[in-house]
Amino acid sequence: MRIVFMGTPDFAAGSLEAVIEAGHDVAAAVTGEDKPVGRGNKVQMCAVKQVAVQHNIPVLQPHRVRGNDEFLEQLKSLHPDIIIVAAYGKIIPKEILELPEYGCINVHASLLPDYRGAAPIQWAVIDGREVSGVTIMQMDEGLDTGDMVAVKEIKLAPDETGGSLFERLSRAGAELLVETLDRIAEGTTEPVPQPEESPTPYARMIRKEDGLIDWSEPAVKIERLIRGLNPWPSAYTGLDGKMLKIWAADVVEDNAADVVEDNAADAAEDDAAMEHIPGTVFAIGNKSFSVQTGNGALRIRELQLAGKKRMDAGAFLRGFHLQEGTVLK
């Protein structure tokens, strides 16, 4: 099939690679504009553009898609059989949706109708979902509301992070996309409308401030936040006026923190923990320390203080004199 591919980040790049390897004719890749990244503000190509350049595929980077007659004429000149959209980041107008013979299909990283929106992967982890997946849908003018063409479920691991689920769903989406293109070409797809009566959490875009830990929340909820926002934007708190990123932690039920882990605390500390205000550091051992939450505690395993490297809690404690009773804010 002759394809125009629209996508920007790593998640979409995997699908583009798969379509190319399957032998489809990719007429062009449409991506977001190049942006400066990092401390040096060096302009860098997005992941989809990098793949396209490697395979000598023309790249289009319109500033806007709606009301862009020049871009519409470019698409028409390419005569695509189908347009594939994967994490592109812009709303596709009706005149583009109806342009190709087979319309536009979208690779969405959730089991629709749940988690329509920009950040379905992170929110699935943060919300404690046991199952996520990928949906290929026929696009319409709504926000992720089109008929479902194909679905693949993925069970989340107990230690699943936003990053690990991102990788797994990217691979699953790429495989499902190639299978779906074959079925579309054969005329064997049977699109299914999305349920209208089902509650559908909206997966709004993640903001950096979403990572600020509220220690009054239950430990299980904070632990999911830590995993969901790993690697970006990360969950964080404050220590001595500096940002402290928390990369990994374990839930400690009933404040039984560190007693087994390295024999650094005793039962008396457990009893005392019940009186700690949320955010209080206690039960400091050789390899970890615990923090009181609104319900239970978290044993911190991996962290990063501003200006320092990411490290395990044991290495941090050897280089930083952390005192019991310190309150993280």
Give the per-residue pLDDT at 283.
Answer: 95
Give the tokens for residue 247: 């990369």
Q: pTM for this structure?
A: 0.91
Tell me the domains of the chain and their CATH numbers.
2-203 (3.40.50.170), 208-319 (3.10.25.10)
Give the per-residue pLDDT at 275.
Answer: 66
Give the per-residue pLDDT at 117.
Answer: 94
Give the per-residue pLDDT at 41.
Answer: 77
Please enumerate, as own/partner, the contacts of 256-262 that have beta carbons within 8 Å and a separation of 24 or more: 257/282, 257/283, 257/290, 257/297, 257/299, 258/283, 258/284, 258/285, 258/288, 258/289, 258/290, 258/299, 259/283, 261/285, 261/287, 261/288, 261/299, 262/286, 262/287, 262/288
Give the tokens for residue 171: 């691979």
CB 272 within 8 Å of CB 303: no
Tens place of pLDDT for every residue, the chain, 329 residues?
999 999 999 999 999 999 999 999 999 999 999 887 777 778 889 999 999 999 999 999 999 999 999 999 999 999 999 999 999 989 999 999 999 999 999 999 999 999 999 999 999 999 999 999 999 999 999 999 999 999 999 999 999 999 999 999 999 999 999 999 999 999 999 999 998 877 678 999 999 999 999 999 999 999 999 999 999 999 999 999 999 999 999 999 754 444 444 444 444 345 444 568 999 999 999 999 999 999 999 999 999 999 999 999 999 999 999 999 999 99
Beta-strand relationship, 297-305 and 289-292: antiparallel
With CA atoms as reference, report the closest residue to 6 among 76, 70, 65: 65
The three-state secondary structure class of 242 is: strand
Give the per-residue pLDDT at 36.
Answer: 79
Give the per-residue pLDDT at 262.
Answer: 47
Give the per-residue pLDDT at 35.
Answer: 84
End-to-end C-alpha distance for the chain, whole angstroms: 55
Give the per-residue pLDDT at 278.
Answer: 97
